[in-house]
Amino acid sequence: MRTVPGRTDRVVVVGAGLAGLATALRLRGAGREVTVVERGDGPGGRAGVVTRDGYVLDTGPSVFTAPELVADTLAAVGERLEDRLTLVPLDTTYRAQFADGSHLDVHADVDRFAAEVEALAGPAEAAALRRYLADLAELYRLQLTTFIDRNLDTPLDLLGPELWALARRGGFGRLSSHVARFFDDDRLRRLFSFQALYAGVSPFRAIAAYAVIAQLDIGAGVWHPVGGIGAVPRAMAAAAGDAGVVFRYGATVEQLDVRGGRVTGVCLEGGERLPADAVVVTTDVPEGLVPGFRRRRPTYSPSCVALHLGVRSELPGQAHHTISFGAAWEQVFDELTRTGRPMSDPSLLVSMPSRTDRSLAPDGGQVLSVVAPAPNLDPHSGGNPGIDWDALTPRYREEVLGTLEARGWTGLTDAIEVEHVDTPLTWARQGMAAGTPFALAHTFGQTGPFRTPTLPRRGPENVVLAGSSVQPGVGVPMVVISGRLAAERITGPVR
Ligand SMILES: Cc1cc2nc3c(=O)[nH]c(=O)nc-3n(C[C@H](O)[C@H](O)[C@H](O)COP(=O)(O)OP(=O)(O)OC[C@H]3O[C@@H](n4cnc5c(N)ncnc54)[C@H](O)[C@@H]3O)c2cc1C
């Protein structure tokens, strides 16, 4: 593994999102003097929070998986997760709601899950489920050690028995075909392939290796952090602060001060300069800050329209997380990743965390986040720069709410008290490339050793990258891992 040469005592981390926080905790744990510079007024980045009239709306992630990664990160400074966060394992991971009116409750407990599948689709599918979950766990084990949980400098780093084992298990075939080999029931096929969209690709084009994303949620279960997902970055920042990391909120890094091929400091808007022996950049578009760093034209993930609602209604009978599938399927992925149109028959992720955590809404109320995948703004990535989301959003909002009313969230629209809507234009205005918060898609050419490494080959020798646009990838677990990988580029491997 390549590492930053020379002195690395003082490190500046740009960004206090989950990647920046994970990096800072790791570096501080290894004895570095760490300053985190964040342009926002607190930690979290994309894992943001809006609090209004007693409703706490998480505006970023809603599905929190793999808490052991956060625990491991906190342990780097001698902290225990349970002293900083209360996590509630969700009894029902997801409720999958299908267009034919049926539904399936997914449980992390295999026997309960299999019983649900048997009731929905019969004993053969329940037996297939058990085989599939075992296969998924093994695929994940193989991939964690080869692709995900390590710095990769060249494709040759992959060579080894795990790679051959992955190939033998069909990891490089198509995801949709892989899932179809196990399940006959179309509803189960959808349930085990929609996660490809979390990685920014259609299951009809994704390689089967991406099946492992379902190991993180369906296989291993989902947790709710009490106080909302925003409690996770707050806990990480508090632990980092107590360990001696310095936070500079409301401070924007304007440029890196480069002398003789090395960064010697970061320059903040307003003229202040912070000296640094090494810098970790966790922004969405590192190209904007790191002189000399470039990459081939990336392909970006689809974006989303996210509706965050505080409603004065109990909405009885709804689950914490529901995946509400429309009838259309292949066509939806075409719309999102090829033809650049909003979904004509939407599949939606609806989360109602106040079902589990009453601290998030006033008595008699609920908070809901509705994520509707949408094309991004980059035509090269199958997106559409021509959609005027500012003009379209009121109509699109009505459409999404109408869909939810028709699918069982009866009375939702009239009960809305507070509301926050993000569209691809919101993300673009925050400086995210292609108007997507999901960064570079996990196409084959942007995965593993083909994705930008945490220590780029171009640019100053002491600049390291972390976050969703570099290895290993997108989503909370991946960016937390990227924090460790980035820190190890500075400290060398720590186990
Ligand atoms: C609506 C939505 C739903 C999602 N759902 C899920 C989910 O259910 N599960 C899941 O695992 N993931 C989900 N994600 C993805 C997940 O939130 C992200 O992958 C992750 O939070 C990205 O973290 P990061 O640290 O890489 O980036 P960020 O959180 O964007 O952190 C980068 C930080 O850098 C700061 N910054 C940028 N430029 C500068 C500068 N020049 N100077 C100083 N600071 C700067 C930014 O303000 C920001 O705080 C979702 C995201 C969104 C938006």
Residues 29-43 have a mean pLDDT of 98
Check pocket membership of 253 for ligand 1, CB cut-off 6 A.
yes
Check pocket membership of 216 for ligand 1, CB cut-off 6 A.
no
The gap from C-alpha 103 to its chain's centroid, in whole angstroms, comes to 25
Which SS3 state, helix, strand or coil, does residue 465 take?
Answer: strand
Check pocket membership of 39 for ligand 1, CB cut-off 6 A.
yes
Percent of the chain past pLDDT 70, that is, above it, reads 100
Cβ-based neighbour number of residue 317 at 10 Å: 9
Check pocket membership of 47 for ligand 1, CB cut-off 6 A.
yes
Residue nearest to atom 6 of ligand 1 (CA): 61
Contact 183, 132 (CB under 8 A): yes
Which atom of ligand 1 lies nearest, measured to the CA of 252? 42
Check pocket membership of 170 for ligand 1, CB cut-off 6 A.
no
Check pocket membership of 20 for ligand 1, CB cut-off 6 A.
yes
Check pocket membership of 437 for ligand 1, CB cut-off 6 A.
yes
Residues 474-493 have a mean pLDDT of 96
Contact 195, 213 (CB under 8 A): yes
Residue 411: is it exposed, middle or buried by C-beta count within 10 angstroms (0-12/13-18/19+)? exposed
Q: Give the position of tokens 């986040």.
A: 369
Which SS3 state, helix, strand or coil, does residue 495 take?
Answer: coil
CA-based nearest residue to 489, from 475, 468, 470? 470
Q: Over the stretch 106-154, which tens digit does the pLDDT of each residue have?
A: 999 999 999 999 999 999 999 999 999 999 998 888 888 888 889 999 8
Q: What is the DSSP string of 335-359?
A: IIIII----SS--EEEE-GGGT-GG
Contact 103, 185 (CB under 8 A): no
Q: Which CATH superfamily is domain 10-48+69-77+227-298+440-491 in?
A: FAD/NAD(P)-binding domain (3.50.50.60)
The whole-number pLDDT of residue 495 equals 62
CA-based nearest residue to 344, from 335, 352, 353? 335
Q: What is the DSSP letter of 453?
A: P
Residue 206 banded pLDDT, cuts 50, 70, 90: confident
Q: How far is the CA of 52 from the centre of ligand 1 (A)?
A: 21
Q: What is the DSSP letter of 17?
A: B
Helix (H) / strand (E) containing 421: strand 416-422
Q: Over the stretch 336-380, which tens digit does the pLDDT of each residue have?
A: 999 999 999 999 999 999 999 999 999 999 999 999 999 999 999
The whole-number pLDDT of residue 494 equals 76
Which atom of ligand 1 lies nearest, measured to the CA of 349? 8
The whole-number pLDDT of residue 476 equals 97
**What residue ranges do the domains of the chain occupy?**
10-48+69-77+227-298+440-491, 111-213
* Mean model confidence pLDDT for the chain: 95
Contact 464, 451 (CB under 8 A): no
According to DSSP, the residues that pair with 300 across neighbouring strands are 440
Residues 18-47 have a mean pLDDT of 98
Report pTM.
0.96
Provide the strand spans (E) within 287-435: 303-311, 321-324, 348-351, 366-374, 416-422
Q: How far is the CA of 430 from the centre of ligand 1 (A)?
A: 11
Check pocket membership of 15 for ligand 1, CB cut-off 6 A.
yes
Q: What is the DSSP string of 27-91?
A: HHHTT-EEEEEESSSSSBTTS-EEEETTEEEE-S---B--HHHHHHHHHTTT--HHHH--EEE-S
Q: Give the position of tokens 């908070």.
A: 367
Q: Which of 169-178, 251-260, 486-495 has the highest mean pLDDT?
A: 251-260
Helix (H) / strand (E) containing 402: helix 389-406
Distance CA(11)–CA(462), nearest Å, equals 10
**pLDDT exceeds cutoff 80 at 276:** yes
Residue 195 banded pLDDT, cuts 50, 70, 90: confident
- Write out the two tokens for 38: 């964040």
Residues 313-320 have a mean pLDDT of 92
Helix (H) / strand (E) containing 186: helix 186-191
